[in-house]
């Protein structure tokens, strides 16, 4: 049974519908690579544990009212793996959604949940989509019985995770040339 979480949020001049739901690991790969490691091969963002993880995606509805005349194809950057073939300047998109944020959740075997490969398309960063997806994921971890949640956070995003009650642990470490810090928090 598919679980769907829908929120509405205001973005510039529009109010798109954001839908959060489980997706397959394969559906995360294109966005993982485009956002997190664009200079690495696709295999670099595939995890050995992907088959046992839970994967969630945030989708933005491309449905629009007849009175809406501004260009709605400005959010397509190809990072969702689509070829854009259903886009046309003379036709309206009906009931279509664009995958704009992804996250993967894993049980680490000790009562803690770990999220990994959290990525939001560049055009949608800072607009609340990633925050909604992370909130959903934290709630999912708690529903699954986890007592805490953690991640390896890029140092550039520490403030984002702190807004969710996460605190740094240990020392900064590197993945390639990118500095990371482990972040965690208890779950209710």
Dump pLDDT digits (tens) for 166-179. 999 999 999 999 99
Whole-number pLDDT of residue 131: 96
* pLDDT surpassing 60 at residue 6: no
% of residues, the chain, pLDDT over 70:
74
Map out the domains of the chain with their CATH numbers. Answer: 5-147 (3.40.630.30)
For residue 81, what pLDDT band results from cuts at 50, 70 and 90?
A: very low
Residues 6 or more apart in contact with residue 26 via CB below 8 angstroms:
none
Using alpha carbons, select from 104, 145, 127 the residue that is nearest to residue 7: 127
Whole-number pLDDT of residue 145: 96
Q: What is the pTM assigned to this prediction?
A: 0.77
Give the mean model confidence (pLDDT) for residues 6-16: 51
Whole-number pLDDT of residue 16: 65
Give the mean model confidence (pLDDT) for residues 59-87: 46
* pLDDT surpassing 50 at residue 107: yes
């Amino acid at each position: 049974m598919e679980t769907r979480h829908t929120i509405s949020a205001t973005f510039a001049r529009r109010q798109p519908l954001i839908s959060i739901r489980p997706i397959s690991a394969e559906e995360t790969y294109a966005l993982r690579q485009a956002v997190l490691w664009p200079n690495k091969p696709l295999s670099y963002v595939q995890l050995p544990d992907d088959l046992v993880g839970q994967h969630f995606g945030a989708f933005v509805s491309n449905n629009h009212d007849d009175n809406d005349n501004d260009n709605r194809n400005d959010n397509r950057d190809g990072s969702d793996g689509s070829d854009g073939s259903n886009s046309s300047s003379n036709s309206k998109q009906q009931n279509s959604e664009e995958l704009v944020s992804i996250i993967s959740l894993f049980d680490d075997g000790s009562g803690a949940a770990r999220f990994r490969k959290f990525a939001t398309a560049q055009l949608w960063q800072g607009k609340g989509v990633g925050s909604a997806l992370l909130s959903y994921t934290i709630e999912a971890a708690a529903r699954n019985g986890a007592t805490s949640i953690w991640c390896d956070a890029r140092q550039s995003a520490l403030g984002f995770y702190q807004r969710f009650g996460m605190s740094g642990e240990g020392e900064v470490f590197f993945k390639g040339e990118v500095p990371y810090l482990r972040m965690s928090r208890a779950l209710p």
